Amino acid sequence: MMAPFFKFGFFGDNLGLVVAFLVGIGFGFFLERAGFGSARKLAAQFYLTDLRVFKVMFTAIVTAMLGVYYLSVLGVMDLSLVYLTPTFLAPQMVGGLVLGVGFVVGGYCPGTACVGVATGRIDALVLFLGIFAGIVGFNEFYPMVSGFYNATEMGQLTLPQVTGLPYGLLVFAVVLMALGGFVGAEWVEKRMAARKAEG
Amino acid sequence: MEAKPAQPYWNPYVAGFGLGLVLLTAFVVMGRGLGASGAFASTITAGLNAVAPGHVAANPAYAEYLKEGTTPLKDWLVFEVLGVFVGGFLSGLLAHRVTRTVEKGPRISTRNRLIFAFIGGALMGIGAKLARGCTSGQALTGGALLNAGSWGFMIMVFVGAYAFAYVMRRQWT
């Protein structure tokens, strides 16, 4: 075992911040290349004319998931040292719903808004101010919502633990689901293009 | 303003593979994934702490972003998001896509689009706080780690967006 490098003490906090900056550059670069600096490209996902949000997200998830899985199977990486956000199922599902509505109303999510701002999108800049307002609003009313925010605490919980199925089998299932999704996405895009051509 | 025409975007599977490798690099090197909304929360806390430290310390929702002996801005996610700006700008510059513009459909005024952008952003901020992360930190990062709460979150993001898409159609189509 030697990865994650930082957790094995190969370098300190300050160099970690340099790594953060470099990783961020890669993150922003590929988000922009994917078309995610444009709210119209992102919103097209929800009108089924361009499903690149689904395609990019699930290609990235599958790539990283397979990488992490094989590195841990090969004994290179100690997966227990990778930070896992604890599960609070109810607030996380409601938060997802609210964020999803915000996505189609605003046209960006927080990460893609950064790319939008960097490439000159005024609407992304305004959305940015909205995010700040939303966070301040949430924090100011926190004493009233803290009960729900801390409800249904389940600790660090993975799908293999929830289902009792082997990790490798679930990895395989997600790959199959993504491939099926990609085939479906290509089919939907073709149908929508044909419908548009017919008028 | 760029005179040259914008280049086409990359094939989504190629861009997604690149994004996945960046995420994998973060896992291998740092033992943590990507994020965005946490950087917003740290920035707000740093700003507010400069003008009203008592108010920040009294509220656990802010106080969790405070750091002993240093600023909340000296944070992994803050530096990562600074990188996102630089990487996004570089990519846009190289492909001639850096333009001052407002992204919207043909049937909505610029003013109304900007109002919706603000409302959407506010919902994002609230949703990301409730969910303890956004599309980057929960869906992408937690998704790849098969985190149970992240998958619950991700499914609901798509449910919320598709459920509301019809209402918002004049803005985009």
Q: Is B9 on the interface with A (CB under 8 A)?
A: yes
Cβ within 8 Å, pair A118-B84: yes
CA separation, residue A163 to residues A41, A48, A160, B93, B150 (Å): 36, 32, 5, 46, 15
Is there a cis peptide before residue A4, judged by omega within 30 degrees of 0? yes
Q: Is the pLDDT of residue B164 over 80?
A: yes
Q: What would the mean pLDDT of B26-44 be, rounded to a whole number?
A: 97
Question: Is pLDDT at B150 greater than 60 in this prediction?
Answer: yes
- CA–CA gap between residue A183 and residue A190 (Å, rounded): 11
Four-point Cα dihedral B145, B149, B150, B151, nearest 10? 90
Q: What string of DSSP letters covers B28-60?
A: HHHS----SHHHHHHHHHHHHHHH-HHHHHH-H
What pLDDT is recorded for position A28? 98
- Per-residue pLDDT for chain A (199 aa), expressed as one digit of tens each? 899 999 999 999 999 999 999 999 999 999 999 999 999 999 999 999 999 999 999 999 999 999 999 999 999 999 999 999 999 999 999 999 999 999 999 999 999 999 999 999 999 999 999 999 999 999 999 999 999 999 999 999 999 999 999 999 999 999 999 999 999 999 999 999 999 898 7
- Rounded Cα–Cα distance for residues A71 and A65 (Å): 10
pLDDT at B68: 87
So what's the pLDDT on residue B103?
97
A149 inside 8 A of chain B by CB: yes
What residue of A is the nearest CA neighbor of B79? A21
How many CB atoms sit inside 10 A of residue B27's CB? 26
Which residue in A161, A14, A88, A7 sits closest to B27, CA to CA?
A: A7
Question: If contacts are CB pairs under 8 Å, which of residues 47-106 in chain B contact chain A?
Answer: 48, 59-62, 74, 76-77, 79-92, 95, 97-105
Complex prediction ipTM: 0.97
CA dihedral sign of residues A168, A171, A172, A173: positive
Q: How far is CA A122 from CA A64, A127, B9, B96, B122, in A?
A: 32, 9, 20, 17, 16
Residue A21, CB-side half-sphere exposure with 13 Å CA sphere: 10
Type of residue at A37: G
What does the alpha-carbon distance between residue A43 and residue A38 come to, in Å, rounded to a whole number? 9
Provide, as residue numbers in chain A, all residues whose Cβ is less than 8 Å from the Cβ of B149: 85-89, 92, 154, 157
Residues present in chain B in total: 173
pLDDT confidence of residue A111: 97
| Residue found under tokens 């960046």 | B22
Please answer whether residues A130 and B124 qualify as being in contact, where contact means their C-beta atoms are separated by less than 8 angstroms: yes
Instruction: Give B90's contacts (C-beta < 8 A, 6+ positions apart).
Output: A25, A28, A29
Helices within B31-138 (DSSP H only): 37-51, 53-58, 60-63, 76-94, 110-131
pLDDT for residue B24 is more than 60: yes
Taking only the tens place, the pLDDT of each residue in B121-145 is 999 999 999 999 999 999 999 999 9
> Is the predicted pLDDT of residue B118 greater than 60, yes or no?
yes
Angle at B154 between CA B148 and CA B159, to 5 degrees: 130
